[in-house]
Each structure stands twice: as structure tokens, then as C-alpha cells.
Chain A
Amino acid sequence: MKKFSYILIFLLAFSWSCNDDDFLDREPTNILLDHQVWNDESLILSVISDLYFRIPEYQTVDNWASYADFDEAFASNFGDYWRHKNNEWGYGDWSLWNYDYIRELNLYIQKASSELTDELDPAVKARFVAEGRFLRAVNYFELVKRMGGVPLILEPLSYDFSGDASYLEYPRAKESEVYDFILSELDEIKNDLPNDTEVKSRATQGVVLAMKSRVALYAASIAKYGVNTPSVSLPGGEVGIPASMADGYYTIALDAAEELINNGPYSLYEKKEDLSENFSSLFIDKANNPEVIFVRDFVQSERWDGRANLWTLWNQPWSGAEDLEGGRTNPSLNLVQSFEMLDNTFQTFETMSGGDYVYFDSPIDMFAGRDARLAGTVMLPGSKFKGKDLDIWAGYILADGTIVTGDEFGQRKELPGTDTPRQVVGFDGPIDGREFSAQSGFYVRKFMDTATGSGQRGLKSDRWWVRYRLGEVYLNAAEAAFELGDEDAAAEYLNVLRRRAGFTIDLTAADLSFDRIAHERKVELAFEGHQLWDMKRWRLAHVVWNGEQEPLTDQPWKADEVSTRVFGLWPYKYYEPGSPNNEKYVFKQVVPGQVTGADRFRLGNYYSFINDDIRNNNPQIVKNPNQ
């Protein structure tokens, strides 16, 4: 009997548990399922946020040392001196092949546009889909800039485990096809996005137009200037765009830029009286900034999870540093001397006059009368940051030409004929080979946060990284108009920016040349990550960075002057008691001691190397030229 009841209980338990299907069918507690994610606006937002964070970039405030790869800046940091000792860039530099990200974007687009999201408001759904396609276009733009034409994969691909993966092999599209794809995507998504200047870290109609002008301009100049480098092309068009397509792309670039300038809600940032301060505030003012279009924003809470903006911490002047960090990015004299005088003329810095030094009461006087953007981009000797005076001077020069200096910040020594030690070098250097000192004679100003505490390791900065702003759109318009032969319009677009920089004499159509356009981009967009791509699309990179150790150019207005090494300009104090020039400042042009190499851009650098592994996996991928 006892046995019987055991069996009965056992059987009952067995059959009950099987009836209860839900008992086994449990919702996972550690992941969210599709129907949970795609019904909820805030969860979809977190999916797309993750994708926004993964936009690939090269020179940004997150990657300060990349600015020292060319001639814009010196890297004042022990671990980065190699950037000035090397002679050439590897063929694989700037290489990118992130099809994992593209797959995730394609999955995102597929799901966001499927019936999973049907319960959302149609406008909200359309916006989410458009954002996915925007990011995919951004990524293809990043790929085509670096690699040339790449396979256009527009839906998530899956392997069927049949043992033959050859149906997943796609050949490279033509370079022009990738550009055309990006442009058509931008056109199609534009009306699904908001047109709101307050939205800066997500896609808007503004960034679509700004990006369209940039993308079309790149394609146009590759088509136009590709003739200068006939060997940088592939027979299948994966690299190189036919010259006949140039005008079409320039027209698209001009139309998009004009639409944004004339009908868009953005305007140039003109809030401050002081024009230099105005220019530097443009990049750090997060309250109602009318010029900034699209950013990678850093928020307060990110300070604690390691993603904060470290630019200010890394680059703050050593003399006023809030922590034991700073001074890394030192803008080069090559860049500094490119800023014009306010009467539209160019002048290099004259340190000698008739065998004698040129003397200045304050080192800042050397830089007087120049483009206001200079002091907005670069911290000059004799200026202030966060209310503190900079202390940039390299030592005392005695009447006989000997130099008394130190190898510690602000070191004290006795000068000849005195017995009281005095400071013989600035607290910001420059001290040759001393990291964090201003080894070019300058510190960087652009993107530097003026808030107290932004230079502390524990706090860091919450300022944003500006990817697109209206100023660049004006330059895109000017370049496109110039290339299409409308020099009056081009001059006017440049003048808008130049008036904001303090120029009172407008440029006329007769003043315009390609050099002018290229120069204006150099000074307006310094440290905004444009230099490499601009030099590549103009096919000037192998001319300007030709590997020869030439002296610093005295023609800074020319776009094709050789500039392979970083130069510096060091202020010294003059010491000759009794002389009227005692304690006045003089200058010397120097090549920092760490600068031993001369940059050489080989023809094979125009389009980065596609890995052997990639080409082994997909034999349809052809190699880039000249490698």
C-alpha cells in the first residue's frame, strides 16, 4: 500500500509539472528580449546611444597625440617623441575595416524598421530608423576616406554553415559609388530627423546638410585633383573618381551648404566682445550655442566611468596646472605663423633685424596685430589661461650671446656678475626634451575648458568634441563655389568668417585662389581633425610631407610648401645691466631637439593597406595601389 501511494504521488507530480509549461518558459533576467527593447522608446534610445558612441574617428580630443602626427603640433610627452623621429607612416596607418559595427547597424536598422516597433508613434519610429542609417552613412564615410571603395553591405549577413562561405564575399564598390551611397542616404533620411539646434549629440537635419556638403566636397576634390597623382587609382575604380564627376559633386556640396547657411536655424557664434575669447568659447560653450551642429558630448556623470574629456587635463599649462599633468600638445610654429596680419598680409616672425635681436617689452607683442583666431587656438607666451599668467621663456641671453637656462621648471641660477640666484627659465619651459613643457614655445588653447577643476584627474572636463559646426560649412561653401568659378560668392563666404576673426578689409574675388581657400581651412579648422583628410583629397600630402628636411617656409600662404618638421619659437630674456634692452624679450626660431625625422607621405599612404587576412578571407578584395 505504501509503495502504491509513493508511485501515485510520483506520477501526479510528474504530470502536473509537465502541464505547467510556463514553469520552464522563463523570461531571462540578464538580457532584454527583442519585444521588450523595441517597444520602449527609452530602451531603443540606449541601443542607438551605444552605436553613437562607437563612431570611429582619428584626431579628436580623446586622442591628443594624433595631432602631433603631422606638422600641426609637437607632442611634449616622453612616450610620444617617436612621432617626430620617424620618417614615414606605415601603409596600414589609418586603416579601418569595422564590418562588425556595420553588422550591428544593419541589425539595428532591420529591427527598428520591422513590425517590432509598430506600436511606436510613426514619427518616432522613422526618426530611430533614420538615425541608424545616419550612423551607417557616417561609418561608410569614415571607411571611404581611409580605404577608398569598400564593399557596401546594407543588410545583416548570416552564414548558413554549408561549408562554403563564398556567397558572403562581396567585391569592393567603386570609390564614387560609396560617396553616392552616402549622399543618397543623407537625402532620404533628412526629413525624418528633427530640425532643432538644441539637439547636438543626435542626428538632425542640420548635421545631415553639413555632412552632405563635406562628403560631396571630398568626392569632388578627389575627382578634380586625382589627375595630379595618376598612379593613385585602380582600374576598377575602387580608388579614384573620374574628373568628369567633379563639377557634379561640387554643386551638391554648394547646394547643401547654402541650404544650411540660408535656411537653417544655425548662426555663427558671436557672443563675446573679445574676438579671440569668442573663438575659443565657441568650442566650450554648451549653453545655446548657435554654431555647433553635431558633437560627441561628455556629461557630468561620465566623469566617473572613465569616459570623460581629458583634453584639458592633458594640455593645461604646467605653470597653472591643477594636477601633475599638462602641457602635452604644443602647437607648431608652422601653424602659428600661418595666421595672417589683420591687414590681410602674411608675415613670418622676424627675430633679428640688422644683426641685432628684435626686442619686445612683453612676449605677447611679437604676436600683435594678427588674426584673432590665433590667440583663440594657441596659448601664446605672455597671455593668460584661467586667469593665471603663462610663464613661457627659455632662459637669459647675455650680451655676448651665451644662454643661461635650466633643466627644471622655473629653475634658479646665478647670472654672471651677480651672487643672488634668480629664475632663469619659465615655469612652462620651454625646456628641450622636458615633457609637459611648451617645447615649441606654445600651448594649445582650442577646446581647453576654463572651468575650475577641469584639469584635475578626479574631475576632468565635461565639454564636448565638436564634429560639425557652421564655420566649416561656410568653408565648404567657399571651396565649392570657388571650384565652380563663382569667386564672388566664395569671397563672401570667407569674409563672413574673417570678419568674426577681426579682419576689416574684405577679400575680393581677385584675391581668391586655391591657396587662399586651403589656408583659411588650415587656420579656422586647426585641431579639429581635418588636416589629414584635406591633404589627402587635394592630393597635396605627398608634396607637403615629402620627407626632405627643409627649413621652415617663409611663404605660409602657399598650400604646397614643404612642411615635414615641427618648428618652435622660443622667447628669451635679454640680460645686459645698464642697457635699455635689459630684461626685454627676444625670440629664437628652433627645431626642438626631439624632432629628428622628416615626415614622408608615400603614394601608398593615400589609401590605407587592406590586411592580408581580409584579402585571404575574401579574395575578391583588391589591394590598394602603390603598396
Chain B
Amino acid sequence: MTKIKLIILLGVVVGFLTSCEWDNYDAPGSMLQGNIVYNGEAINVSYNDVIFELWEPGWQLDIPIDVTVDQDGSYSALLFNGTYKLIIPSAQGPWRNNVNSTTGSDTVLVNLNGDMNLDIEVEPYYMIRNAQFSASGRDVTATFQAEKIITDAGARDIERVNLYIGKTQFVDFRGPVASAEIGGGDIANPSAISMTATVPSLTPTQNYVYARVGLKIAGIEDMVFSSVQKIDL
């Protein structure tokens, strides 16, 4: 009798330990990652602002998976294997979408089967080139070039350029400790822009800041940025 009890108990324990594995679906395991690029160079944007959508056709309801693009233009998403349609909504990002040769539209087909690296090529209105940052005392100076990429009928003007300095590596118009701005009309030479901002005393004290420059395109909500640079004061 005790033997049967023991066997039953053992069965219950084994059941407990294994049933979770049995019941549950597998977690998504395929990593889709890459950058939003122009000619292979990643386009930097503000954090938590630019998204694109992944749609998986064939389901009863259509609800997109939103993928947020990081500050440095990279993205990553953990997904199930399958065929996805990748769409960058028209209002997202400081760029124009390229026409994909396979689909004949700006939709990109993604056949995901295991981990995958995918760089999404787009055409930005402007790129920030050769951004150099230097510090003297508490003044941070940035020099850079604004290269106009789109010059056809869809070309857009520069609304303004900004230098943002932040305490953390998340640097943009949200809460910089110091910033400088030049209006689009006041830029004499777009291939030699120089801006200076003075860093106030920081609490708690830190002897470094992060800086980057951003460019606002007229009529486009998202700005294009240089990469973030750490500067020792």
C-alpha cells in the first residue's frame, strides 16, 4: 500500500515539474535586428520616438508589432519565425522611404527563420557629417556639416540646428542641461556649422557630459542627429 502511495506521489511531483513545459507555448526566439541606414551608415534619431511596424498576414485580426528605433539608429525585436511585412509609417523618421524592388512599394518582406540581421535602407533629407566636439573649460563646442541628401522636388529646408548637452547618454530636446540653437535662415554655410553651449554646474557633480547635435527639417517632426559623444570637462 505504501508503495502505491509513493508511486502516486512521485507521479504528482513529476507532473508538477514537467507540466509547465508542456502547457506553455514557446517564447519567441528569433532575433531580428539591424539599423536604419543610408548607404550603410546608421541614421541617429531621438529615443523612443521613431517606430516601424511589423505585420504578420494570415491572422484573423491585424495588429502590428511596433518596433522602436534606438538613438543610434539600431533596432531589435524578438519574434516568432514567420513572414512579416515591415512598414515604416510615413510620418516616422527624418527620411523618405525607399521603394522595395520585391514588393514594388515601401513595404519590406521579412522571412524570419532564426536570427537575422537586416539593415533598412532609407533616404534621409539631411545627414550630419563630421561632427566634432571639443571642450574648453565648461564650454562645449560642436562643429559639423549638414549634407543635403534629397535635392529633388521633395527637398526640404533646415528649420533649425541644435546642440544638446545632457547628463546621461540619452540626449535630445528632452531635458538637456545646456543647449544652443541656430535657426535655419541664420546658417551661413551648411558645411561648416559651429555651435557652443556652456555647461552649468551639475548636481551631483560629474566631470563629463554627453553631447550631440540635431537637425530639425521643416515640416518633419522627427529630427536627425549625430551620434552621442561623451566629453570630459
Which A residues fall within an 8 A CB radius of B? 87, 230-231, 546-549, 598, 600, 602-604, 612-613, 615-616, 625-627
Q: Which residues of B contact A627 (CB under 8 A)?
A: 89, 91
**Overall SS of chain B's interface:** loop
Residue pair A616, B173 in contact (C-beta under 8 Å): no
The 3 A-B residue pairs with the shortest CB-CB distance, nearest first, are: A626-B91, A612-B63, A616-B61
- Check B115 for interface membership: any CB of A closer than 8 A: no
Q: Which residues of A contact B173 (CB under 8 A)?
A: 546-548
Residue pair A600, B91 in contact (C-beta under 8 Å): no
A546-B173, A549-B175 as given contacts; A616 in contact with B219, CB under 8 Å:
no
User: In the bound complex, what is the Cα–Cα distance between A342 and B175 (angstroms)?
Assistant: 37
Residue pair A612, B91 in contact (C-beta under 8 Å): no
User: In the bound complex, what is the Cα–Cα distance between A616 and B173 (angstroms)?
Assistant: 36
- State which residues 124-177 of B face A: CB under 8 Å: 173-176
CB distance from B79 to the nearest CB of A (A): 18
- Check B186 for interface membership: any CB of A closer than 8 A: no
CB distance from A616 to the nearest CB of B (A): 5
- Given A547-B173, A598-B174, A613-B61, output 6 extra A-B contacts at Cβ < 8 Å: A230-B219, A546-B173, A547-B174, A549-B174, A600-B174, A615-B62
Q: Which residues of B contact A548 (CB under 8 A)?
A: 173-174
User: In the bound complex, what is the Cα–Cα distance between A246 and B84 (angstroms)?
Assistant: 44
CB distance from A597 to the nearest CB of B (A): 8
User: In the bound complex, what is the Cα–Cα distance between A627 and B89 (angstroms)?
Assistant: 8
Residue pair B91, A604 in contact (C-beta under 8 Å): yes
Q: Which residues of B contact A549 (CB under 8 A)?
A: 174-176
CB distance from B63 to the nearest CB of A (A): 5
Residue among B61, B62, B63, B91 making CB contact with A603, cutoff 8 Å: B91
Residue of A nearest to B221 (CB): A603
User: In the bound complex, what is the Cα–Cα distance between A615 and B63 (angstroms)?
Assistant: 9
User: In the bound complex, what is the Cα–Cα distance between A579 and B91 (angstroms)?
Assistant: 63
Residue pair B175, A598 in contact (C-beta under 8 Å): yes
**Overall SS of chain A's interface:** loop
Residue pair A231, B91 in contact (C-beta under 8 Å): yes
Q: Quick one: CB contact mask for B4-16 with A, threshold 8 Å, 1 for yes?
A: 0000000000000
Residue pair A616, B62 in contact (C-beta under 8 Å): yes
Residue pair B91, A625 in contact (C-beta under 8 Å): yes
User: In the bound complex, what is the Cα–Cα distance between A50 and B61 (angstroms)?
Assistant: 35
User: In the bound complex, what is the Cα–Cα distance between A627 and B175 (angstroms)?
Assistant: 23
Residue pair A602, B221 in contact (C-beta under 8 Å): yes
CB distance from B54 to the nearest CB of A (A): 14
26 CB < 8 A contacts A-B: A87-B174, A231-B91, A231-B219, A231-B221, A546-B173, A547-B173, A547-B174, A548-B173, A548-B174, A549-B174, A549-B176, A598-B174, A600-B174, A602-B221, A603-B91, A604-B91, A612-B61, A612-B64, A616-B61, A616-B62, A616-B63, A625-B91, A626-B91, A626-B221, A627-B89, A627-B91
Q: Which residues of A contact B174 (CB under 8 A)?
A: 87, 547-549, 598, 600
User: In the bound complex, what is the Cα–Cα distance between A612 and B64 (angstroms)?
Assistant: 9
- State which residues 86-130 of B face A: CB under 8 Å: 89, 91
Q: Which residues of B contact A546 (CB under 8 A)?
A: 173
User: In the bound complex, what is the Cα–Cα distance between A626 and B89 (angstroms)?
Assistant: 8
Q: Which residues of B contact A602 (CB under 8 A)?
A: 221
Residue of B nearest to A612 (CB): B63
CB distance from A551 to the nearest CB of B (A): 12
User: In the bound complex, what is the Cα–Cα distance between A230 and B218 (angstroms)?
Assistant: 11
Residue of B nearest to A611 (CB): B63
CB distance from B76 to the nearest CB of A (A): 22
User: In the bound complex, what is the Cα–Cα distance between A186 and B79 (angstroms)?
Assistant: 52
User: In the bound complex, what is the Cα–Cα distance between A546 and B221 (angstroms)?
Assistant: 11
Q: Which residues of A contact B63 (CB under 8 A)?
A: 612, 616
Q: Which residues of B contact A603 (CB under 8 A)?
A: 91, 221
CB distance from B50 to the nearest CB of A (A): 12
Q: Quick one: CB contact mask for B53-96 with A, threshold 8 Å, 1 for yes?
A: 00000000111100000000000000000000000010100000
User: In the bound complex, what is the Cα–Cα distance between A547 and B174 (angstroms)?
Assistant: 6
Q: Which residues of B contact A615 (CB under 8 A)?
A: 62
Q: Which residues of A contact B219 (CB under 8 A)?
A: 230-231
User: In the bound complex, what is the Cα–Cα distance between A549 and B62 (angstroms)?
Assistant: 38
Of the candidates B62, B219, B221, the one having the most CB atoms from chain A within 10 angstroms of its own CB is B221
CB distance from A138 to the nearest CB of B (A): 31
User: In the bound complex, what is the Cα–Cα distance between A598 and B173 (angstroms)?
Assistant: 10
Q: Which residues of A contact B175 (CB under 8 A)?
A: 549, 598
